[in-house]
Amino acid sequence: MSAFRAVIFDMDGVLLDSEPFHHAALNEVLAADGRSVSDEEYRPFIGSGEIRWEDLVRRFDLVGSPGGYCRQFDDAVTRQYRARSRLNPGAAELLAGLREAAVPLGVASNSKRRWVDAAIETLGIGGRFLSVVAADEVTKPKPAPDLYLAVAAGLGVPPAECIAVEDSLPGVQSARAAGTYVVGYRTPHTTGLDLPADEVIDTLYEFPLDRLAVDVALRKAG
């Protein structure tokens, strides 16, 4: 069995549940025009990381420009990350255990750098990661391999010696294309979704620590 030397995390969905932030931000922007999107209507946007405002302007006959709505949405999402970011169950313990064992850690996020920075700062985990790359810092975001290749390069570890943790199909495809070992993480938003990962876990407490080249202790809080 291979022993891996580094771990690369997706951010949204894996480290924190941020999907409600995007939905709330979308409705905050639409509220100025007397519009809103229900939970069911929002479902197609889940995991997209971006809103196609050109489509929404036509769909709702909005009076503003797509670019203007995009900037408002960007600001609203950033505020949501700063106000509501909380680590998913098991994330704090996993990050602490990996850090104690000196395992190099990275973040490969399909979100904008502004959002990533807001989340990491609010969570107080900026010092945990040696390499953080966002979607607007690479030529092609997920499902292309660019993000994972860039993070692995920043860590100084070949992709084949990294474990990626992903909760979405585009994320799994990105990590696999880069040549990493992929752990699929099922969240409430992705239950029932086919994740073609090397293995799948239902909680971060199930992370396969035995695949790492060093011993890592992981204890549940309390």
Catalytic residues: 10, 12
Q: Is the peptide bond before 143 cis (omega within 30 degrees of 0)?
A: yes
Other beta carbons within 10 Å of 186: 17
CA 1 to the chain's CA centroid: 27
- What does residue 16 show for φ and ψ, rounded to 5 degrees? -150, 155
* Host H or E run for residue 165: strand 162-166
Task: List the helix and strand counts (H, then E) for the chain.
Answer: 8, 6
Task: Report residue 121 CA to chain centroid gap.
Answer: 15
For the beta carbon of residue 116, count every other beta carbon within 10 angstroms.
Answer: 23
